[in-house]
Structure 1
């Protein structure tokens, strides 16, 4: 274990290592020494090391009249070595950590070690905001039994809110109902007792295909953060770890495109509100090969890193609407993603437990993930939509939600990829992937492996949906209207093959009766099933 006091980047002697430095003003003679605040992955912003109500400066750091805690920042290689991680994700995580150490200055105790447990062993002076994952919660409680646990942060709602909501319900825990409850409690987008616009969801106004003939939405490029010497240092560190076999990476790491500090995140939020929020709603489901960001916010990364408070994000977007700078449908759709879906899947992570990923396989999905998929190698993938989406993951570690759900997830669902492996894959290769965010998204929403706990039906489609919502099919060697033969779209044929395979599990689902009836009426169903069983590369 290697303590690194120089990483605090503060001039002069370190008072922690100076016997003559005198008493620390953070120590209270009556209450005993002030505890050291431990921050863990996903907690690399002021929200987690500066308590609510403390005076702060423009960057969100504690002001001179506050008494902020010391902060233990553990840089453990196990964070990056457990499974092959996208190189860009590793860069973002390590850059966020080291940028926060630099910002904290003398407050930071930066410890470099192999495991987090090594850094915590023997410590009886720690406190921590309850971490967002089971692994981290179990780790801090076992490695440092004397640790003081503070209530969780980083979400709009807390565990008590969700528990109260669950206690008052019978039957399924629908996201729509949870979201409505959040809106009512917070008085967000409400018009008296009812929702603004007359409905809690304006999703039907937010399903536009891309403009006909367009290759981009024509919006300004997002404002990317400026890299600095810390980013250079991070690249050298990742190179060294990879060279000595400590870690394995997939994907590329070009320039950093996501915020890793509170100041960068605030700039990214303002840029989104000013240049893309208005178009977010209408085109949130659209795809264009030459526009990888479209009108999306790119804020999931800083929120999941812990450098951007989602409540602040929602309130900023609501202010834009109140000031007449953003239409209701766009604002509602965005608020639903942040205060609805994001909080909902975090609460389900705890509510459904660890067996949710390992024990759910309602559709009998047993296929191992192929090597070309796990290595992000789209070079031999001929289906344009899948090739572009997989290559975007390789290049950026990110795609927007429709590419995840209706291209990558749709393909995986049709091919019967194992949902537990797929959950790990999405967690590892997406720069906003975390252990808490992916289970309900993949096992539930994308793969329907839970049999309907999260989604009422499988999110599967043929090529016609992709053709409608993108410009991919025009350049593709496959035809979205063909299901048999050399030109058969692997999504169109794969859709019918999926229904044939999963019919026993789906026949009692009321929303699937018509699709299953259509499937049974196909004269060439056996040929379609045989064709797709033999297909290995799309």
Structure 2
């Protein structure tokens, strides 16, 4: 019997379940990592995403070799060819794999015709197993994040005093919505210079064989666990103290604000969610940090991240194809080229993504997803774009986050109402409108902000469906205050923005 382990590209930690199952036989257990060209070509991925994943995989392979494991690192046309060759070469009689986080990849893996049995071990890179999430969700009328988050706080004893939350309340989100007034000075993020391994990956991605997006240099992301731990320490020390109040703010030239920049490393396996949560919690006790900052950050990891993963494995398999509002407009070209839009908020956000593969959660939700929702863009095209361009994107993240939270295409499984907003929100929470040719206060006219006429056109087109969302009734009453002429002009502007093609 020869058990071999295939380590996937987002499972890069030595405590992962498949490795731990053979830790006592490391000298005789073959290990495989595969760098698949075909997988890299499934989407026009951001070049820095390809560099990050492949460089992190190569660094991890070296770390495993130094720890005494026998590692094969295959640079191959596709996964299946490399996997079958490795199984035959090493006489593998049992293939062990930690369960993929992505449901489509798990389905593909199970469909393979292998010459040996496949053993799937539970994915211990998440705090909740899919079966545990299903047990929590069973029989509930709704699956709101807030209730799941509270369950997680109690289950893992995070920021708790007995059975009660520290500070007397579970959620301090209302304190974390300050607009960016005055001069803000966010701390600079911790970046790294590429080493020889990373430089070789950059050369591979630059070879022209990949239909990719975005700028490849300067590449400054962490690519190893030791570097990721440095980013975690830097966040806890220099960024977490100011994280809370301005976590929803957007400022020109400030790409990262106080955000942690840990999601790429969490999603690769370089950091474990519980060590990140405990580090933030300990800083609250040791450094007397503001509770709204610490709780707000922990909610993103213990709440939101775990919730998305559980939900991705809980919903029906047709979830990625949901389209509640029946929006079918193709993705505009400016999503691939920021210089093709005159909307400054979109330009600033899209330009940052081109340069780094990153934008923070409010830019993703209230600029990109908000625009896609009210402009009637296809949820499937938007989700595919998010998956391609963001450095921390995977199926389990984006299918629920974009289809559910961002575009309400699931009809309310994830969110209690659509996150639709006019230019007023953008103007309040950013400085983008000050340098834009459009006016954030106008709904009609040549300088009317598209966020305004798209917003009101969206409400008018979908009024019947939106009336069933109780939290929308007050807003919808404003449509009755508009004249038929104004609503007609709003509709015309929404059509003309896309060169005369009506929104369907």
TM range (shorter): over 0.9
Give the structure-1-normalised TM-score: 0.87
State the Cα distance separating 1:247 from its structure 2 match. 1.9
Q: 1:178 aligns with which of 129, 148, 153?
A: 148
Count residues in correspondence: 486
Match of 2:447 among 478, 484, 487: 487
Q: Which residue of 2 aligns with 1:381?
A: 341
Residue 513 (structure 1) shift: 0.6
Q: Does 2:503 align with 1:534?
A: no
Aligned partner of residue 309 in structure 2, secondary structure: helix
Deviation sequence 1:480-513 (CA, Å, 0-9, x none): 1111101101112211011011112212211111
Residue aligning to 1:40: 8
The equivalent residue for 1:195 is: 165
Sort the Cα spacing of 1:338 and 1:67 in 2 relative to 1 into closer, same or farther, 3 A: farther
How far did residue 196 of structure 1 move? 1.1
Contact 1:95 1:231 in 2 (8 A): yes
Q: For residue 49 of structure 1, report the CA deviation from its aligned partner.
A: 7.0
Matches of 2:409 and 2:25 in 1, distance apart?
Answer: 53
User: Residue 208 and residue 67 in structure 1: after superposition, are their counterparts in 2 closer, same or farther (change >3 A)?
Assistant: farther
Change (3 A) 1:256 1:74: same
Once the two structures are superposed, residues 221-259 of structure 1 have per-residue CA deviations (whole angstroms, 9 ceiling, x without a partner) of: 11112310011100111122x2xxx42011111122322
Check 1:303–1:469 CA distance in 2 against 1; reply closer, same or farther (3 A cut). same
Structure 2 length normalisation: TM-score? 0.92
Question: CA offsets, 1:197-218, max 9 Å, x none?
Answer: 1111110111111132x2xx31
1:126 to 79, 87, 95: 95
State yes or no: 1:434 paired with 2:405.
no
Residues 282-306 of structure 1, C-alpha deviations (whole Å, 9 max, x = no match): 1110000111010000000001111
1:48 CA drift (Å): 2.6
Structure 1: where are the runs of 5+ without partners? 1-31, 55-61
Q: Which runs of 5+ in 2 are unaligned?
A: 500-504
Q: Which residue in 2 is equivalent to 1:354?
A: 317
| 2:58–2:197 contact (8 Å) kept in structure 1 | yes
The residue aligned with 1:95 is 55
Could you tell me which of 490, 505, 522 is aligned with 2:465?
505
Whether contact under 8 Å (1:128, 1:147) holds in the other structure is: yes
- 5 Å-filtered alignment, 1:49-448, equals 51=19, 69-105=29-65, 107-121=70-84, 122=87, 123-143=92-112, 144=114, 146-167=117-138, 169-212=139-182, 214=183, 217-240=184-207, 242=208, 246-358=209-321, 360-373=322-335, 375=336, 377-448=337-408
| TM-fit CA distance, 1:220 | 2.8
The residue matched to 2:395 in structure 1 has which SS?
coil
Task: Note the alpha carbon deviations across 1:453-481, whole angstroms, 9 max, x for none.
Answer: 11111101111111111111111111111
Give yes or no for contact 1:288–1:470 (8 Å, CA) kept in 2: yes
Q: How far apart, in 1, do the equivalents of 2:111 and 2:468 lie?
A: 45
Say whether the 8 Å CA contact 2:375–2:458 is kept in structure 1.
yes
Contact residue 387 and residue 393 of structure 2 kept, 8 A: yes
